[in-house]
Amino acid sequence: MTMFYAHKIKHYARFACASVVASAMCFTLCACEGQVPKAAEGSSVKELPDVTPIKEKDIRLRVLRSLEKANEEKNASNLAEYMSGPSAIVRASELAIAAKMGKLDAKTTIPREVAQTIVPTNASWPRDLMTITTTTKDQQSKRLLVIRQDSARSNYKLWAVARLFPGVHLPKFPVPSIGASMGKANDSGL
């Protein structure tokens, strides 16, 4: 019987010793207070564009083909599928006038050829792709197109169209493969 107790005592001694060592290690490690490392400002992580130049072209041409179809039919019933915001309201009124007059005004033309594309690098929504077109065939001014995606699961839609006056100089933007950082409402200098 003494052997039985000796074995139990030995077992408890090992357990107690292991507990003391583990507790000592925990207290030692807890005593090491250090600052949690923080990410360096302006780290070398490079933001990438939201879409590739090829994807931007696909998006833009999808929107323009749908718009051209609505122009041919002079029907605004499907505008919500590929237009939103102020451009949808303006185009609906232009199509209503065209239905009465028989043709669209020449100023409503949006060329497919592009002079410059601006692709953002921001990781939030809404996301805007901006395109500056070439002049129209009848030498009307360039157009600035804003194509917006409201959320991650929504399609890009033409949100705004602005006619640029001749001689307008826009700021230089990075090439689409690099992407452009979009401003925020609280940026200084706005």
Q: Is the pLDDT of residue 27 over 70?
A: no
- Mean pLDDT of the region 27-36: 59
User: 127: which residues sit within 8 A by CB, 6+ positions away?
Assistant: 50, 120, 148, 149, 156
List pLDDT tens digits, range 174-185.
Answer: 655 555 556 566
The confidence score (pLDDT) of residue 59 equals 95
Please count the other Cβ atoms lying within 10 Å of the Cβ belonging to residue 84.
21
Asked if residue 84 lies in contact with residue 154, where contact means CB atoms within 8 angstroms, the answer is no
Q: Is the pLDDT of residue 63 over 60?
A: yes
- Mean pLDDT of the region 166-172: 75
Asked if residue 78 lies in contact with residue 70, where contact means CB atoms within 8 angstroms, the answer is yes
**Owner of token pair 């060592």:** 21
Q: How far apart are the C-alpha atoms of 54 and 177, rounded to whole Å?
A: 10
> Which of the 8 DSSP states describes residue 79?
G
**Residue-wise DSSP of 18-52:** HHHHHHHHHHHHHH---PPP-PPTT-SPPPPPSS-
Which of 52-56, 81-85, 145-149 is least confident? Answer: 52-56
Both structure tokens of 36: 């949690």
Asked if residue 120 lies in contact with residue 112, where contact means CB atoms within 8 angstroms, the answer is no
For the entire predicted model, the pTM comes to 0.67
The confidence score (pLDDT) of residue 82 equals 95
Asked if residue 161 lies in contact with residue 82, where contact means CB atoms within 8 angstroms, the answer is no
Q: How far apart are the C-alpha atoms of 190 and 10, rounded to whole Å?
A: 77
Mean of the per-residue pLDDT values of the chain:
80
Q: How far apart are the C-alpha atoms of 60 and 135, rounded to whole Å?
A: 17
* Paired strand residues for 118: 130
Q: Is the pLDDT of residue 111 over 80?
A: yes
Asked if residue 114 lies in contact with residue 130, where contact means CB atoms within 8 angstroms, the answer is no
The amino acid at residue 177 is S
Q: Is the pLDDT of residue 64 over 90?
A: yes
Q: How far apart are the C-alpha atoms of 151 and 131, rounded to whole Å?
A: 20
Domain parsing of the chain, residue ranges: 53-163
The confidence score (pLDDT) of residue 138 equals 86
Per-residue pLDDT band at 17 (split at 50, 70, 90) = low
132, containing H or E segment: strand 127-133
